[in-house]
Amino acid sequence: MDQPSGRSFMQVLCEKYSPENFPYRRGPGMGVHVPATPQGSPMKDRLNLPSVLVLNSCGITCAGDENEIAAFCAHVSELDLSDNKLEDWHEVSKIVSNVPHLEFLNLSSNPLSLSVLERRCAGSFAGVRKLVLNNSKASWETVHTILQELPDLEELFLCLNDYETVSCSPVCCQSLKLLHITDNNLQDWTEIRKLGIMFPSLDTLILANNNLTTIEESEDSLARLFPNLRSINLHKSGLHCWEDIDKLNSFPKLEEVKLLGIPLLQSYTTEERRKLLIARLPSIIKLNGSIVADGEREDSERFFIRYYMEFPEEEVPFRYHELVTKYGKLEPLAVVDLRPQSSVKVEVHFQDKVEEMSIRLDQTVAELKKHLKTVVQLSTSNMLLFYLDQEAPFGPEEMKYSSRALHSYGIRDGDKIYVEPRTK
């Protein structure tokens, strides 16, 4: 049978991992010694093959000699063939069927949508636990065939495949724990619910960068659809109402949520977003990648009560009443202005006269003297200033440094400044 044109898997393997290009490294799983190569093989007696093979972007179009693949890849557990030119599932099957311990396979960005995956070919994938088909444009028919032949599949990556709908498999995949299906165009919840039907054991669902607009499902139905879901990623979805966030509480085992970049949260501050989300999701222990500590949860729930306490009754969420039952009705927090004062009112004492004045604290002692010239009828060079803090126990302090700013003295309303003529 004629070999397809292009570079073969074995050709690239020999080039990349030959002793000349890949110096021998000792240690478990780092090298393999083959005492005799297949008849007619151009390879030497030894290839330095790690258990993890990375052959991405190498222009691979076909498998090459299957006997050689079997001889040299018996110990390989992970294989990255992303961004090659594999378009025939039969060629992929030739490679995978001769790697008996393969558990991880990355076929991203290969034009595999150009061929049909037959079940007899898919059977060669049986031991694979993690399969990556990002940007392969794999059809749902292909995905279904794979699911029927991979009884131990735990993680499946289907990103960037232009899916607008989900086609249900005739058979449930009980083994799948993680589904990564970001950057598609799944807008309708009726499509997402099919994933729950197909993957009832799903632990992690990553739906980022899909324009999902709402979660149209009853609470009881959500609990049945995703009974084991522990983590969900809805970054940059189209969710725009708090009712959709509340529905996440229906997943009985949910403890991690990612919700950045959704329309609902755009009008809130960073603090408001996090605290309002934490308060509405009482079971989560991690939000947007950060652990929710017990202290942060209590702060957020108290914040939630105060946030909604002035809202009309018809706009107050049910969660508000739950938290009032927990903490009671709280008083509004006092508003404290922590900005430094820009001016103060002080008493200026000169001889027997006392005058109340407002002075700017950003000016210097020299500038204050100029301001007082007309009040005390003394030149600045003939003027001594003393500052008396009304609470200080040590008496007046001479303001002797002309360039010193007034705010550095800690002057407050009601303090006193004494002016005296300089004695010769």
Span 134-139, average pLDDT: 97
Question: HSE-up of 57 (CA within 13 Å, CB side)?
Answer: 0
Pick the range with the lowest mean pLDDT from 4-13, 138-147, 194-203.
4-13
The pLDDT tens digits of the residues spanning 179-192 come to 999 999 999 999 99
Tens of pLDDT, residue by residue over 386-396, are: 999 877 777 88
Q: Minimal CA–CA distance to 319: which of 275, 267, 285, 356?
A: 275
State the DSSP string of 113-144: GGS---HHHHGGGTT-SEEE-TTS---HHHHH
Taking the C-alpha atoms of residue 18 and residue 149, their distance in angstroms, rounded to an integer, is 34
From residue 186, alpha-carbon distances to 18, 195, 242, 375 in Å are 45, 11, 20, 77
| pLDDT of amino acid 424 | 66
pLDDT band with cut points at 50, 70 and 90 for residue 239: very high
Mean pLDDT (the chain) is 89
Return the CATH number of 47-327, one of 3.80.10.10, 3.40.50.300, 3.30.70.141, 3.40.50.970: 3.80.10.10
| Cα angle for residues 326, 332, 333 (degrees, 5° grid) | 105
Residue 6 has pLDDT above 90, yes or no: no
Q: What are 216-238's pLDDT values in tens digits?
A: 999 899 999 999 999 999 999 99
- pTM value? 0.74
Residue 398 and residue 420 in contact, taking contact as beta carbons nearer than 8 Å: no
Q: Which CATH class is domain 343-421?
A: alpha beta
Dist. CA 46–CA 37, nearest whole Å: 9
Tokens representing 115? 């061929």
Q: Which residue has the higher pLDDT, 108 or 19?
A: 108
**E strands present in 21-103:** 32-33, 46-47, 52-54, 60-62, 78-80
Q: Which has more pLDDT, 320 or 32?
A: 320
pLDDT band at 341 (very low <50, low <70, confident <90, very high): confident
Q: Which of 59, 67, 104 is nearest to 86 (CA)?
A: 59
- Virtual CA dihedral for 92, 94, 96, 97, nearest 10 degrees? 150
Q: Where are the domains of the chain?
A: 47-327, 343-421
Give the per-residue pLDDT at 392: 72
pLDDT tens digit sequence for 10-29: 999 998 887 666 544 444 44
Residue 170: pLDDT band (50, 70, 90) is confident
